[in-house]
């Protein structure tokens, strides 16, 4: 860190500073100086007496740390919070969420839902989020307007939704968005094939080829439940992770979301290919999907990130809270 300027825009005096690097450190009696929108210095508070600042924030009792990254979600579904609670994944999706989306989702729905989600995520300390949802152009516009960093994984599905009719249309619309925001400082765009049970193997292979050509990220729901894995073995004679590997979809640009049903051979394959895992514990608990073996993944050298999934399968967009939003069980009078 270079020496601070004598005049800065902002000085913050928190109770503690928790930096990313060096890791594992908590700094007390330290301050942070900001100049031109960038961190100019982290220094002992005693040394800030010589610095003039336009703004000074005294934050005793607060910890100052870099913004959190919510590595998986469907932000616009903040408008579906509490819809169809207490169901397992497939009846929740097939009998409730997908029909509701068919009736209600539009560009305006997405813009409003993303704005609400961003407000909630900021309150939880999240400054970057990953999103996979219909009308991703509305998400990109809203994130840019609100100054929020966002990785968009545009959805790819085999069946029609309000946004597109079949896989090729999802892909062409998504790639048009990628071109439109390629110079954005805040938004990046990659592929979001929904899951191996909603995207055919030929279409997954197409995504793998295009993502490799464009050197673009891929995010996919994978091994979310044991039922998904057993069904795939019955249909294709192999586990979904093995299918993805065979189709060229597993590698360092791939983010595998959920991963609750994992054997030792799956963990070894993730480590060998450099694919990432996004752990969404509250979603997995709410939908009774299973539990991701995070300790074993980390021990094998697999990179594991944390996500909330949508507000409809979590009820909160705070990645580090362990309490569910409590809604009244009887109507207000």
Which residue has 């999802």 as its token pair? 170
- For Zn ion, give the closer residue by CB, 101 or 309: 309
Determine how β-strand 27-28 pairs with β-strand 276-279: unpaired
Which x/- pattern, by CB under 5 A, does the window 306-325 give for Zn ion? ---x----------------
User: Whose CA is closest to 130, among 324, 308, 283, 312?
Assistant: 308
DSSP state letter for 253: T
Distance, in Å, from the CA atom of 86 to the CA atom of 236, rounded to the nearest integer, reads 31
- For Zn ion, give the closer residue by CB, 266 or 309: 309
Q: Distance of alpha carbon 163 from its chain centroid, rounded?
A: 21
The pair of structure tokens assigned to 210 is 């295009």
Q: How far is the CB of 313 from Zn ion (least distance, A)?
A: 7
Q: How far is the CB of 20 from Zn ion (least distance, A)?
A: 26
Closest residue to Zn ion in the complex (CB):
309
Is the separation of the CB atoms in 224 and 93 below 8 Å? Answer: no
Q: Which stretch binds Zn ion (CB under 5 A): 26-34, 41-49, 118-126, 302-310?
A: 302-310
- For Zn ion, give the closer residue by CB, 51 or 222: 222
- For Zn ion, give the closer residue by CB, 209 or 325: 325
- For Zn ion, give the closer residue by CB, 204 or 287: 287
Element (H, E) at 296: helix 294-299
Helix (H, G, I), strand (E, B) or coil at 284: helix
Q: Which stretch binds Zn ion (CB under 5 A): 111-119, 222-230, 293-301, 303-311?
A: 303-311
- For Zn ion, give the closer residue by CB, 74 or 239: 74
Q: Distance of alpha carbon 77 from its chain centroid, rounded?
A: 13
Q: How far is the CB of 201 from Zn ion (least distance, A)?
A: 21
Give the CA-trace dihedral at 162, 167, 170, 172, to 10 degrees: -140
User: Whose CA is closest to 247, among 275, 267, 225?
Assistant: 275
Distance, in Å, from the CA atom of 141 to the CA atom of 187, rounded to the nearest integer, reads 9
Q: Which stretch binds Zn ion (CB under 5 A): 11-19, 42-50, 304-312, 321-329?
A: 304-312
How many positions of this chain bind Zn ion (CB under 5 A)? Answer: 1
- 290, with CB counted inside 10 A (0-12, 13-18, 19+), is buried
Q: How far is the CB of 278 from Zn ion (least distance, A)?
A: 9
- For Zn ion, give the closer residue by CB, 228 or 309: 309
Q: How far is the CB of 89 from Zn ion (least distance, A)?
A: 10
Q: How far is the CB of 72 from Zn ion (least distance, A)?
A: 6
Q: How far is the CB of 257 from Zn ion (least distance, A)?
A: 6
Q: Which stretch binds Zn ion (CB under 5 A): 21-29, 50-58, 305-313, 321-329?
A: 305-313
- The angle formed by the CA atoms of residues 28, 31 and 36, to the nearest 5 degrees, is 150
- For Zn ion, give the closer residue by CB, 4 or 307: 307
CB atoms within 10 A of CB 106: 13
Residues that bind Zn ion (CB under 5 A): 309
């Amino acid at each position: 860190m270079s020496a601070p300027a004598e005049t800065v825009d902002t000085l913050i005096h928190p109770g503690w500073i928790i930096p990313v690097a060096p890791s594992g450190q908590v700094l007390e009696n330290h301050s942070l100086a900001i100049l031109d929108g960038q961190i100019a210095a982290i220094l002992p508070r005693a040394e800030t007496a010589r610095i003039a600042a336009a703004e000074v924030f005294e934050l005793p009792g607060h910890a100052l740390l870099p913004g959190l990254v919510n590595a998986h979600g469907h932000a616009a579904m903040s408008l579906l919070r509490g819809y169809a609670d207490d169901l397992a994944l497939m009846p929740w999706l097939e009998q409730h969420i997908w029909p509701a989306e068919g009736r209600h989702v539009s560009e305006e729905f997405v813009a409003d839902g993303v704005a609400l989600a961003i407000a909630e995520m900021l309150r939880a300390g999240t400054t970057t989020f990953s999103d996979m949802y219909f009308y991703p152009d509305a998400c990109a516009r809203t994130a840019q307007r609100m100054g929020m960093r966002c990785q968009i994984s545009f959805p790819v599905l085999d069946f029609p939704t309000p946004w597109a009719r079949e896989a090729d249309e999802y892909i062409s619309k998504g790639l048009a968005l990628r071109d439109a925001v390629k110079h954005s400082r805040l938004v990046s765009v990659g592929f979001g094939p929904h899951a191996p049970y909603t995207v055919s193997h030929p279409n997954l292979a197409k995504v793998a080829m295009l993502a490799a050509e464009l050197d673009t990220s891929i995010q996919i729901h994978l091994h979310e439940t044991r039922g998904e894995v057993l069904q795939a073995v019955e249909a294709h004679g192999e586990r979904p992770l093995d299918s993805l590997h065979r189709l060229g979809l597993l590698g360092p640009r791939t983010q595998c979301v959920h991963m609750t049903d994992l054997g030792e051979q799956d963990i070894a394959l993730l480590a060998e290919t450099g694919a990432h895992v996004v752990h969404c514990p509250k979603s997995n608990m709410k939908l009774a999907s299973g539990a991701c073996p995070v300790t074993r993944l980390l021990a094998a050298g697999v990179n594991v990130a944390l996500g909330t999934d949508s507000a409809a399968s979590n009820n909160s967009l705070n990645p580090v809270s362990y309490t569910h939003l409590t809604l009244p069980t009887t109507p207000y009078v």
